[in-house]
Amino acid sequence: MRQAGRSLPEYRALRKEGSILDAIKKPDIAAEITLQPIRRYGVDAAILFSDIVVPVHAVGFGIDIEPGVGPVTENPFRTAKDLERLRDLDPIADTSYVIETIKICVDELRIPLIGFAGGPFTIASYLIEGGPSRTYKETKKLMFDNPKLWGQLMDRLTAICTSSLTSQIQAGASAIQLFDSWVGALSPDQYIRFVFPWVEKMFEEIGKTGVPKIHFGVATGELLQLMSDVGADVVGIDWRVPLDQARSRVGGGKALQGNLDPGILSAPWTAIEAEVLKVLELNDGHPGHIFNLGHGVTPDVNPDVLERIVHVVHQYRVGQ
């Protein structure tokens, strides 16, 4: 469960009030935050504590994370000149702290560690919009207005993400997850034209390492088949698409991840349990299923609830 640590008191005690990017840059802190939810919940894999903007921040684009807002940049990406702010990532020189964090985690863990990166559309949208957006209209304007520049931007972001993911795998990550979180803002035709070729290239490159590739976004019901065809091994599903429906779109030979609605985690336990069981029942014993939420955990969630969910899932698995 991504961001499962955010609601833990031990996380807040460790993070305090500082910038999340500062915490990510301290391997001992970042590793401890990665491990906290594992100790608490006994889940079956860990996901690196990091952020999708880490690589573009590291190459000096000029992007920060504003608490309560998200990624923000004072000088949004607008012209070919802005490409100069997106040089190649040298993972050793630029993000040694990520590599160090992974090594500490892998030494401690007896379960797989999942590395990750932000998908190129989602990262591009932050660079172009200057912050979170509801309409993505500057992003779409650039796509259609200057497809050449869009292609160059996607080339840069694909190269940066590929380097980052490769270095995470070399450091010991057993799988990777590409969070193209906001790509569901595109129609299938827009996805095919403006995103697919770059993610395909990235997954081809990452595929050479042999590690499984998980691919996730929200409101992607109409894109699931494309997000599978682009080269993912596992497709993450938000809570909108029932799991059986998702499986028919994604096609055979692929696994699914999801898809408990994170919006119900403040509901009474009996309601949550019923929703957990519904996900498991819709999966109908299919071996290709990673139980997960359909999106990240919000900071207000009671950790006991997450613990009970893990227990129900594990008991169900034993019962099968």
The residue among 42 and 268 lying less far from a copy of itself, judged by its C-beta, is 268
Give the one residue of 219, 288, 312, 314 binding a copy of itself; rule: CB under 8 A.
219
* Residue 77 identity (one-letter amino acid): F
126 assigned to active site: yes
89: tokens are 């990532």
Backbone angles phi, psi at 127, to 5 degrees: -65, -40
CB 4 → a copy of itself: shortest distance, Å? 16
39 binds a copy of itself (CB under 8 A): no
Convert residues 42-61 into a mask of x (bound to a copy of itself by CB under 8 A) and - (unbound). Answer: --------------------
In whole angstroms, how close is the CB of 313 to a copy of itself at the nearest point? 18
Least Å from the CB of residue 69 to a copy of itself: 12
The residue from 138, 182, 232, 293 that contacts a copy of itself (CB under 8 A) is 138
Binding mask of the shown chain, residues 267 to 306, with x at each position contacting a copy of itself by CB under 8 A: xx--xx-----x-------------------x-x------
Taking the C-alpha atoms of residue 72 and residue 64, their distance in angstroms, rounded to an integer, is: 6
End-to-end CA distance of the chain: 22
Distance between CA atoms of 139 and 203, rounded to whole angstroms? 23
Out of 170, 190, 209, 225, point to the residue binding a copy of itself (CB under 8 A).
Answer: 190
Question: In whole angstroms, what is the distance from residue 157 CA to residue 119 CA?
Answer: 8
Mark out the alpha helices in the chain (DSSP H runs): 9-15, 20-24, 27-41, 54-58, 91-94, 96-108, 120-129, 137-145, 147-171, 188-194, 196-207, 224-229, 243-250, 269-283, 303-319
Summarize as ranges the residues that interact with a copy of itself (CB under 8 A). Answer: 135-138, 140-141, 143-145, 184-190, 219, 221-222, 239-242, 245, 261-268, 271-272, 278, 298, 300
Q: Could you give the residue numbers annotated as active site?
A: 2, 6, 15, 51, 126
